[in-house]
């Protein structure tokens, strides 16, 4: 089936620094990819829709200047958490649609200390 590679799987960073998370489609091109955030023992909340060659579409309440999304190629979307703070600590997951639903990356556990 469709494969999505997400990197890194976990990262610890200092408060105030920026962290980039990569999401690659390994089998076919993905013009649209989705970024979700998941707090412990909670569900996934859509943050933004990443569109190849154009600006991302952010959900209400998500700061676009803080969560920078770049989808420069048909196989790569990146999410950069800028000036990270402890409250940004969460599990971030990317996904893309295929013929039978989503395929997700393995997720990135971000811890901001």
Partner 1 sequence: SQQGEEDPQALSIQEGENATMNCSYKTSINNLQWYRQNSGRGLVHLILIRSNEREKHSGRLRVTLDTSKKSSSLLITASRAADTASYFCATETGGQNFVFGPGTRLSVLP
Binding site for partner 1 (CB under 8 A): 6, 32, 34, 36, 41-46, 49, 91, 93, 95, 97, 100-107, 109
Q: Which is nearer to partner 1, 14 or 41 (CB)?
A: 41
Tell me how far, at minimum, the Cβ of 43 lies from partner 1, in Å.
5
> b/e map of 36-71 (b: 16 or more CB within 10 Å)?
bbeeeeeebeebbbbebeeebebeeebeeeebbbeb
Tell me how far, at minimum, the Cβ of 55 lies from partner 1, in Å.
16
Tell me how far, at minimum, the Cβ of 18 lies from partner 1, in Å.
23
DSSP strand pairing (19-25 vs 32-38): unpaired
């Amino acid at each position: 089936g469709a494969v999505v590679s997400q990197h890194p799987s976990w990262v610890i960073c200092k408060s105030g620094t920026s962290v980039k998370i990569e999401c690659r489609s390994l089998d076919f091109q993905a013009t649209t990819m989705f970024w979700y955030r998941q707090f412990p023992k909670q569900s996934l909340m859509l943050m933004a829709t990443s569109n190849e060659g154009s600006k991302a579409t952010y959900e209400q309440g998500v700061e676009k200047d803080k969560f920078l999304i770049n989808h420069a190629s048909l196989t790569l979307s990146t999410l950069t958490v800028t000036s990270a703070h402890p409250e940004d600590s969460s599990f971030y997951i990317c996904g893309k649609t295929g013929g039978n639903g989503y395929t997700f990356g393995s997720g990135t556990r971000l811890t901001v200390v």
